[in-house]
Amino acid sequence: DDIHDDLATLTGSKLMARSQIAATTIDLNQGVGAKDLFTGTTQDVIVEGLVIRMPNDIAAGALTSISIHTDDATPLVFITAAEGAVANLVAEAQLSWAPADGICLLVAGKKIQLTIGGGAEGAAYVCKVVAKYRAVVSGGYLA
């Protein structure tokens, strides 16, 4: 345990295989298109879970859906546009992804993005997004 604690002190929470959490917010009152949530930094990471939580309000305006995915040529989709349909974006709703058939390998430099469909929400609509992940090699993290 002393060796592990010393390694953790030296490398912080970015130690290989150690469970890490990244959190951010995103305002859905933006135009259509992909918005960056997280970027794989320094080394590859394995994403083990992701959740987005709506504010205490009901989505409106031109917004029709959201989706969350990687920016790979063949993206891994965490939350589909059907799951993120405006009818599901109600007060304090949570949409989540946990791997049923595997995990997501996000290579350094690749991103997790949220795509807004339809248009802007019409007013500030700030959501919380949290990802659970592990570095494949010490030093990897989501920024």
Instruction: Name the domain count of the chain.
Output: 1
- The residue segments making up the domain with residue 38 are 2-142
The pLDDT value given to residue 104: 95
| Buried residues in 38-51 as b, exposed as e (16+ CB within 10 A) | bbbbebebbbbbbb
pLDDT at 58: 85
What is the model's pTM?
Answer: 0.90
Name every residue whose Cβ is closer than 8 Å to that of residue 3 and which is 6 or more positions away in sequence.
none
* The pLDDT value given to residue 6: 55
**pLDDT the model gives residue 8:** 56
pLDDT tens, position by position, 2-46: 555 555 555 566 777 699 999 999 999 999 999 999 999 999 999
Predicted local confidence at residue 14, as pLDDT: 78
Strand order of the β-sheet with 33-41 is 77-79, 65-70, 111-117, 33-41, 141-142
Q: What is the pLDDT of residue 38?
A: 99
CATH code of 78's domain: 2.60.120.1330
Give the pLDDT confidence of 82-131 residue by residue, as tens digits: 999 999 999 999 999 998 877 899 999 999 999 999 999 999 999 999 99
Mean pLDDT of the 64-81 span: 98
Beta bridge partners of 127: 26
7's enclosing H/E stretch is helix 2-11
Give me 28's structure tokens: 């859905």
